[in-house]
Amino acid sequence: MTRPLLWHSVFFIAALFVAEAADAALDNTSAQAMMQKNGCAACHAIDKKIVGPAYQDVAAKYKGDKDALAKLADKVKKGGVGVWGQIPMPPNVQASDADIKDLVGWILSLKK
Ligand code: HEC
């Protein structure tokens, strides 16, 4: 008699883990909404260069670089030039630190 109850709990716990994983990383839809909100979408797209590099290319460039998240979050905040060409990225002062960190984390997780 206890068995159905046990399975029920297993599914419940599994569902909790799934919900948690979804919370940890942005999905593409909410990340793109966040790009719009913070103005990144004017210069960036996931899979093609606009003014700035495609986010998939950024992910490929920093693959395996453990400092990339901190380094890029700082660069997005302050702006910079010279890594992808001679067009500068202006400072993104309107974006909150939390949004920048979420966005850079998501960018680095992208695959071609
Ligand atoms: C006005 C255009 C513009 C806007 C707005 C903009 N970017 Fe950029 N972004 C650029 C350009 C140009 C570069 C390339 C800079 C370089 O070559 O060093 C770049 C580079 C980057 C890089 C790679 C940096 C590196 O050193 O490799 C990341 C990550 C990035 N942008 C994220 C963002 C995010 C997140 C936002 C929104 C908060 C944003 N950008 C808003 C133009 C922009």
Q: What is the pLDDT of residues 12-23, one digit of tens each?
A: 666 655 555 444
Residue 42's pLDDT is 97
Token pair for 48: 């093609």
Residue 100's pLDDT is 97
First to last CA, the chain: 49
Question: Half-sphere exposure (CA, 13 Å, Cβ side) for 51?
Answer: 10
Which residue is associated with the tokens 């702006």? 79
Q: 73 CB under 6 A from ligand 1? A: no
Confidence of residue 94 (pLDDT cuts 50, 70, 90): very high
Residue 2's pLDDT is 67
Residue 26's pLDDT is 87
Residues contacting residue 102 through CB under 8 Å, at least 6 positions apart: 26, 31, 34
Choose which residue among 43, 62, 67, 92 to substitute to test ligand 1 binding: the one with the highest number of ligand atoms within 8 A of its C-beta. Answer: 43
